[in-house]
Structure 1
Amino acid sequence: MPITLNTLLEQRSLKLSLVVEGAAGAIDTPISWVHSSESADPTPYLEGGELLLLTGLLMPEDAPDERFRRYVARLADTGIRGIGFGVGVHHADIPEWLVRQCEMSDMPLFSVPLEISFIAITKTISRGVADSKQQGFARLYRNQQQLMRSVHTLDPVSTIISRTAELIGGWAALLNPAGAVVESSHRFLPIEISALGDTLTFSTLGEAKFVAMRGYDIAVFHIVSPTGQTLGYLVAGYRGEKGTLDHPLVAQAAALLSLAISSSADANRALGRLRSAMVRQCLEGGAEMVRPYASDLWDGMPAEPLAVLRVTGEQEALETAQRLFEPFRKSLAKNMNPAVFGMIEGDLWAVVSQSNAGEWMTSLLRDSRVVVGQSSGCIWRDLPRARHEAYQAASEAMTSGEQSLRYGQSEGGGSLENMVEPSKMRAFADLKLAPIASLEFNLSVGPHGENTRSSGRKTPAGGSGEGMTLHAVDVLRTWLRCRGRAEEVARALGLHRHTVTKYMARISKALSVDLADPQTVAELWYACRFTRFGGAASDRRGKR
């Protein structure tokens, strides 16, 4: 602990007596040194922080003369810690006018008895200053050792920042070369980094600047690589007046960061590639093969039931989103179950516990630059299905202009149309119905109910422009819509039910399918919805 006037007063061997206490806390202010002087103006020989000892050799007894009229005021402006008056040498007691001046200037004043030499006080202060410096060096060494150990952690940059804040008793942040915060010891900093302004402009590599802002003593260190490239800025703050921050410790942290950032970048790239490979393995159904490495990659694996998240967007936004999942930093991941995550083909994929998937979504969606798709619930061996759902949900969200979508959330979500690329579905439909693409039925041959041209009635529904032919695809579509009920199909087309039966037999033969097979019926239904064949195809496509 630094030596103070209060420390001297507590030492009974010195027998000091406090006469004027001075300003609040003045006697607990550290003393830098001690000086003895009988001069009427000793200020040219003082730097501030000293304790002044005197016997009043030149001081008048009753009232101050011109030389001593502002004696204590001048000393107060210099910033000394107090005045020690040796009584019994030239004055039996401390002159009253000196006591009054000390009271007016809030200057501590104490008396030194005749039997106590000034050298005893000087030695005590000297030992105290030496001990304080020794303790300071020891503390600095211990702190530097703790910072050095931070370099050997899995995430040295983040650890150095958080450890620096702990050791200085304040806060710290790492800025990138553009001045944006990339790491910080606290989620919310007490100052706006943008308010630093010109403080982040350095003309000399590795320069440091010190400012006071909003009650904080702040140091800004320019971090450069060994090759002279700007890596960023270390900003640290401690509540107090300018000069109270532990600047040597912050300088040590800046030096370590210059080495850690470069090596950390290489390590992070390697870790990112490994995470990408492992999360791909999980999403393809190989979670058990990944489990032995999960604690090193993600600090564990989330608990079932699970949800898969696909996050897509700008590269910078994805990097920001990835930092939310990072388990080895002070982030949201600290308060949740572990998340298995990694980059795959330009998208960020994450497997999280379904119980807190909503919290993850809320945090991710604070950045408007990303789009998130979420799967339905699943277990580890069911991840391939969940991956497809998350992919489809994100794709549908981007198509619809939404920022997020949970699989099956929107109308029609999970339908075949939303799961398959439309161009692929049209290709499937045209190939499936190709055998009947040119098949038409001539309505002018034979009896076809009441809706024939000869009777002057309406042309059959879905017929050609001339009303004399009917496309086989339109007949099949109507038959599927009516669930194969011949009488209902006949009414819809204006045909006889036996004619419908005959037409459907020809269609079944041309397609070489069994219309009683449910799978065949389902495939034909989607084919009729997407095909370009048939008289009603163009009208139907226009409505979609």
Structure 2
Amino acid sequence: MSVPLTLRDLCEDRGLGLRIAGPPADLDRPIGWVHASELDDPTPYLDGGELLLTVGLGPHAGTGPRDYVARLAAHGLSGLGFGTGLGYDEIPAAVVDACARAGLPLLEVPERTPFLALTKAVAAAHAADRYAEVVRTDEARRALTAAALSTGVSAAGPAGVTRRGAGGTANVLAALAERLDAWVLVCDGDGRVRHAVPRSAARRASGLGEEIAKVRDHAGRSCVSMSDGARQVVLQPVRLLGPAVLVVGRNRPFTPVDQRIVEIAVSVLTLSHTRSAAVGRAERRLRTAVLRALLTLPGGGAEQVLADTWDPLPEGPVVVVAFGGRLSGPLPPALLDALDRAAPGFHAELDDRVVAVVPGETDDAVAAALAPAARHPDVRAGVSDPAPPGELDRALREATRALDAADRRDRPVVRFADLAAGGLADLVPPADAAAFAASVLAPLLRHDAERRGDLVGSLREWLAHHGQWDPAAARLGVHRHTLRARMAKAAALLERDLDSPGVRAELWFALHLPG
């Protein structure tokens, strides 16, 4: 980091031959520029921070040395350089006394030192500072870019904070924190801390919630800088998977170069994510193609396709997890990103669902695949039974049925094993089941509605007694010949053979649907 040129630096340059006049003064003031003037009031032409040079005409014109020096001090000049050997052989006592009273550093410039030499010295120092800033900025740009391209991980933390697998983003933030000797946060669109370097910095987000929300929700690109004494915090919007805010802070002020490095980090993160997003889209299309191949090729061929294009399927049984939900659009990109980082096995998009194929020997892999969806309340998941890798199509059908049931029941997760245990009615969407029942039983319902008998109730009781006439008739309170006549009438109206086990199963299903 460059250090501004001060009055002390000029005095220590023996080639200039400067001498401190009067009592000790603050020589560590930075010099913004050098200006020579003999006006009795040069302040209208000065910005403050300059070293003003004079041969003595200005202090002794107008209102005299005391008022002259007071104006310079009030304007914030760094110091006064008095040239001797021309109008004055030494600095007049009145000028020395006025500078002492005003606390303005006073330097004697000998005749052998032209004022231009001081100007050149300050200009050279400023040029060196600018060059150092350019070098530091360029080094930071290269370091941050290299970090973005790196696949290693520089930070780890609790849930919601940078972890292994976070990739280039984590490395960029770690490099930024190291270069600025600062702590760094990235907060996502929900206000959660997505990354923190170091991990202990995550707790700082709670005290910055209002400022983070303002920067995140601002219509245009905005940067907010907050200062509390020596502590300074800079907030910048950044685009990752969605709107986010980069927060950088430390216990001393940021220089303009520091703030430029923060801006570079924002650009690197944005470009890195844009590049990663393009690669990710191509990768997702490839995953979908591979999944379709897995579902259509025979078992051995499917496994070979996956081995040639992706990681091989795990040995032993696999479980398929299907993700969908009550969403107005596609599944959240954050869910796909989380599956990339957290879910074992293979996953791909298929139509309006995301399908994950994970090892099925234990529940650990399934739990890891389901964990990212828990953060999205509108996402639903269906889990298949374990299946051999060659029977992925069956497992996908099971997961899809379970997903449909989860959507109907408004439950986050439904497992096919639980669904199957609930009976056939749980496997069929209610609307489809109701339509089936209405179609099958329509002739009997019309017959009973015309008050010509109770065929529906008689059929239900007869089926409940496995086609046994006497117990069913007794239950209905009719003679068994009456029940036989009713079943003959029902068979004729339905145009079905009631002795067929399949027909009996369909009728039993239709008769026991609600409604």
TM-score, normalised by the number of residues in structure 2: 0.59
SS in 2 for 1:4: coil
TM-score, normalised by the number of residues in structure 1: 0.57
Q: Does 1:387 align with 2:396?
A: yes
Describe the shift of the 1:487–1:252 C-alpha distance in structure 2 as closer, same or farther (beyond 3 A). closer
Contact between 1:302 and 1:351, CA under 8 Å: does it hold in 2? no
Tell me which amino acid in the other structure corresponds to 2:506: A
Q: Does 1:404 align with 2:387?
A: no
Alignment-derived partner of residue 373 in structure 1: 381
Contact between 1:165 and 1:172, CA under 8 Å: does it hold in 2? no
Alignment-derived partner of residue 447 in structure 1: none
Describe the shift of the 1:307–1:89 C-alpha distance in structure 2 as closer, same or farther (beyond 3 A). farther
Alignment-derived partner of residue 373 in structure 2: 361
Alignment-derived partner of residue 507 in structure 2: 528
Aligned partners of 1:306 and 1:32: how far apart in 2? Answer: 70
Cα offset, 1:198, TM superposition: 8.2
Match for residue 289 of structure 1 among 299, 305, 320: 305
Q: Does 1:492 align with 2:471?
A: no
Residues 63-84 of structure 1 show CA distances to partners (whole Å, capped at 9, x for unaligned) of: 953333332002x1xxx55556
User: 1:47-66, aligned counterparts within 5 Å?
Assistant: 47-52=47-52, 59=59, 64-66=65-67
SS in 2 for 1:354: helix
Alignment-derived partner of residue 100 in structure 2: 99
Q: Does 1:131 align with 2:131?
A: no
Alignment-derived partner of residue 3 in structure 2: 3
Contact between 1:310 and 1:394, CA under 8 Å: does it hold in 2? yes
Aligned partners of 1:70 and 1:376: how far apart in 2? Answer: 85
**Unpaired segments ≥5 residues, structure 1:** 201-208, 222-231, 441-461, 514-519, 532-536
Contact between 2:322 and 2:381, CA under 8 Å: does it hold in 1? yes
Aligned partners of 2:92 and 2:372: how far apart in 1? Answer: 78
Cα offset, 1:419, TM superposition: 1.4
Cα offset, 1:495, TM superposition: 6.7
Match for residue 478 of structure 1 among 461, 468, 475: 461
**Unpaired segments ≥5 residues, structure 2:** 152-166, 197-201, 228-232, 359-364
Cα offset, 1:350, TM superposition: 3.8
Residues 85-143 of structure 1 show CA distances to partners (whole Å, capped at 9, x for unaligned) of: 789942589834423423xxxx7x47579799577765554443232222222333344
Cα offset, 1:308, TM superposition: 0.8
Q: How many residues align?
A: 446
Tell me which amino acid in the other structure corresponds to 1:2: S
User: 1:167-316, aligned counterparts within 5 Å?
Assistant: 191-192=211-212, 200=220, 212=224, 214-215=226-227, 246-247=259-260, 250=263, 269-281=281-293, 286=302, 289-291=305-307, 293-294=309-310, 308-314=321-327, 316=329
SS in 1 for 2:2: coil
Alignment-derived partner of residue 455 in structure 1: none
Aligned partners of 1:128 and 1:527: how far apart in 2? Answer: 94
User: 1:6-17, aligned counterparts within 5 Å?
Assistant: 8-9=8-9, 14=14
Residues 485-509 of structure 1 show CA distances to partners (whole Å, capped at 9, x for unaligned) of: 777545424478999999999x999
Aligned partners of 2:48 and 2:281: how far apart in 1? Answer: 53
Describe the shift of the 1:512–1:220 C-alpha distance in structure 2 as closer, same or farther (beyond 3 A). closer
Contact between 2:36 and 2:53, CA under 8 Å: does it hold in 1? yes
Alignment-derived partner of residue 322 in structure 1: 333
Contact between 2:59 and 2:95, CA under 8 Å: does it hold in 1? no
Alignment-derived partner of residue 69 in structure 2: 68
Describe the shift of the 1:488–1:511 C-alpha distance in structure 2 as closer, same or farther (beyond 3 A). closer
Tell me which amino acid in the other structure corresponds to 1:3: V
Alignment-derived partner of residue 456 in structure 1: none
SS in 2 for 1:19: coil
Alignment-derived partner of residue 416 in structure 1: 424
SS in 1 for 2:24: strand
Contact between 1:151 and 1:260, CA under 8 Å: does it hold in 2? no
Describe the shift of the 1:494–1:234 C-alpha distance in structure 2 as closer, same or farther (beyond 3 A). closer
Contact between 1:4 and 1:31, CA under 8 Å: does it hold in 2? yes
Alignment-derived partner of residue 347 in structure 1: 353
Aligned partners of 1:302 and 1:419: how far apart in 2? Answer: 29
Match for residue 19 of structure 1 among 21, 24, 29: 24
Contact between 2:405 and 2:429, CA under 8 Å: does it hold in 1? no
Cα offset, 1:372, TM superposition: 0.7
Contact between 2:385 and 2:398, CA under 8 Å: does it hold in 1? no
Contact between 2:69 and 2:99, CA under 8 Å: does it hold in 1? no
Alignment-derived partner of residue 227 in structure 1: none
Residues 328-367 of structure 1 show CA distances to partners (whole Å, capped at 9, x for unaligned) of: xxxx865x345744332223334563233453232122xx
Question: What percentage of residue pairs aligned between the two structures are identical?
Answer: 23
Tell me which amino acid in the other structure corresponds to 1:527: E
Alignment-derived partner of residue 156 in structure 2: none
Residues 283-342 of structure 1 show CA distances to partners (whole Å, capped at 9, x for unaligned) of: 67746632554479xxx99999756132234454x35x2333326xxxx865x3457443
Contact between 2:294 and 2:392, CA under 8 Å: does it hold in 1? yes
Contact between 1:302 and 1:339, CA under 8 Å: does it hold in 2? no
Aligned partners of 2:248 and 2:56: how far apart in 1? Answer: 42
Describe the shift of the 1:197–1:404 C-alpha distance in structure 2 as closer, same or farther (beyond 3 A). closer
SS in 1 for 2:381: strand
Describe the shift of the 1:295–1:326 C-alpha distance in structure 2 as closer, same or farther (beyond 3 A). farther
Contact between 1:374 and 1:394, CA under 8 Å: does it hold in 2? yes
Tell me which amino acid in the other structure corresponds to 1:19: P
User: 1:502-521, aligned counterparts within 5 Å?
Assistant: 510=497, 513=500, 520=501
Aligned partners of 2:50 and 2:291: how far apart in 1? Answer: 65
User: 1:110-125, aligned counterparts within 5 Å?
Assistant: 124-125=121-122
Aligned partners of 1:422 and 1:350: how far apart in 2? Answer: 27
